[in-house]
Amino acid sequence: MDIEALFGLSGKVVLITGASSGIGLHIAKVYAQAGAKVVLAARRRDRIDKAVAELRLQGHPALGVYLDVTESASIAAAFQEAESHFGAGIDVLYNNSGIIYQKPFLEQEESEIARVFDTNLKGAMLVAQEAARRMAMRGSGVIINIASTAGLRAGGMLSSYGASKAALIQMTEVMALELASKGIRVNAICPGNIETDMQESLKAFEQALIRRTPMKRFGRPEDLDGVSLLLASEAGRYMTGVSIPVDGGQVLAWM
């Protein structure tokens, strides 16, 4: 058995949303090292351009595209630019864009609720639809939705975020059911507390959260490498409709 080929992504075109920082940027680099042609998609064009330049210096095929996940026209344009540049369709979508407001339920403002759902659910759905339509025409593809353990268990001051991620997990299962016949696998990764810019709002609660985590630490972006490669590669070819927590056992502690 060729383990490198089993988990590798040689020749695959992968589009990562929210790729200007955090998990998205990290996984773009991981997939590039696994042999993929990577498309970094985000609104912060200066950041993705810098990351693309670094990847190209290392000899990796990479492209940066502007993408606003809440705008259908922006999504279609990003996919078209990626396909035109690499001369091939997107094989793997890493559907990663997301935002968070950490506030008590009664203090969540309408504009904040709308923005969270627009990005975390509507945006993820629009991007997945665009990818799936194109993948269906070729009869193959992989979609990985980045959800959260907050979508599996209730967490204080995460009402809109948790609800949006719970809905994303449900959407993953529906997509897996409907798209399996078209050769498309759909799964979700549910990170726990991962050390990224998004987690800055949790600093005041860091020690309390660590005490509730059996492995007694926050996760790091590299803790997602294995599952991200598994789901994107041939190693996960018989997996669809699953949501995998990567959380140091945190969900177990909530039971």
Which residue from 234, 231, 181, 251 is spatially nearest to 4, judged by alpha carbons? 234
Exactly one of 31, 94, 101, 161 is catalytic; which is it? 161
Helix, strand, coil fractions of the chain, as percent rounded to 5: 55, 15, 30
CA distance 149 to 47: 28
Sign, Cα dihedral of 210, 212, 214, 219: negative
CA distance 166 to 179: 20
- Give 43's DSSP letter: S
Residue 243 has φ and ψ, to the nearest 5°, of -125, 115
Q: Is 37 helix (H, G, I), strand (E, B) or coil?
A: strand
Based on the residue annotation, tell me whether 94 is a catalytic residue of this protein.
no
CA distance 242 to 240: 6
CA distance 17 to 94: 6
Indicate the angle between helix axes 159-179 and 124-138, nearest 10 degrees.
10
The set of catalytic residues is 161
